[in-house]
A and B are shown apart, each in its own frame.
Chain A
Amino acid sequence: QKEVEQNSGPLSVPEGAIASLNCTYSDRGSQSFFWYRQYSGKSPELIMSIYSNGDKEDGRFTAQLNKASQYVSLLIRDSQPSDSATYLCAVNQAAGNKLTFGGGTRVLVKP
């Protein structure tokens, strides 16, 4: 079983729509969760972090965490073509205090 799982996509959304990305993790003791955006050929860029159950909003991005179900999600509202990228979910595992990344979900926003 992969430690952090994401659907590889591509997730195709029309411009202006909501993109919904999901991530599940196996380490129940994990406490910190992150979403990184990575454009093709570029390095990952941190866009959201979340530590408590519930929603956290930052601009057009909303992260949602449910520790009981071991999933974290990212919503991108009013999607723009510039949001087209691969979104990486990262989980700080309780054991060893290290970030484990999922394989990423590729998002394509079509004008």
Chain B
Amino acid sequence: ETGVTQTPRHLVMGMTNKKSLKCEQHLGHNAMYWYKQSAKKPLELMFVYNFKEQTENNSVPSRFSPECPNSSHLFLHLHTLQPEDSALYLCASSQDRFADTQYFGPGTRLTVL
């Protein structure tokens, strides 16, 4: 596979469930990002990892927990979410956090019931 992949592509979960989103990039990049895209709102940056180290947490609630075991993989662990967390969650990568050009994965469409 090439580029940035995300699984699952669609996820429906209850407020008491625990689930994880996975992102993998095959571009040899060192920075990875999680974004949230809600209806009628701009893309919101959630987390940034550079060389496996978290460099930014954009005031994200603790019910979202990121994990970056290596430069190619990024996870977003979800627990006790709220219906307003329903959105498209996008992963992106770039050469490093100082590189401008980011490449996006296809996203995970999350619905919280």
A interface with B by C-beta (< 8 Å): 4, 8, 32, 34, 36, 41-46, 49, 88, 90, 92, 96-104
Contacts and interface: CB of A to CB of B under 8 A. Distances in A.
Contact of B42 (A34, A92, A101): A101
Dominant secondary structure at the A interface: strand
Given A34-B100, A97-B98, A98-B56, A43 B41 contact: no
23 contacts: A8-B40, A34-B100, A34-B101, A36-B104, A42-B106, A42-B107, A43-B104, A43-B105, A43-B107, A44-B90, A45-B104, A46-B103, A49-B101, A88-B42, A96-B56, A97-B98, A98-B45, A98-B48, A98-B56, A99-B100, A99-B102, A101-B43, A103-B42
Dominant secondary structure at the B interface: loop
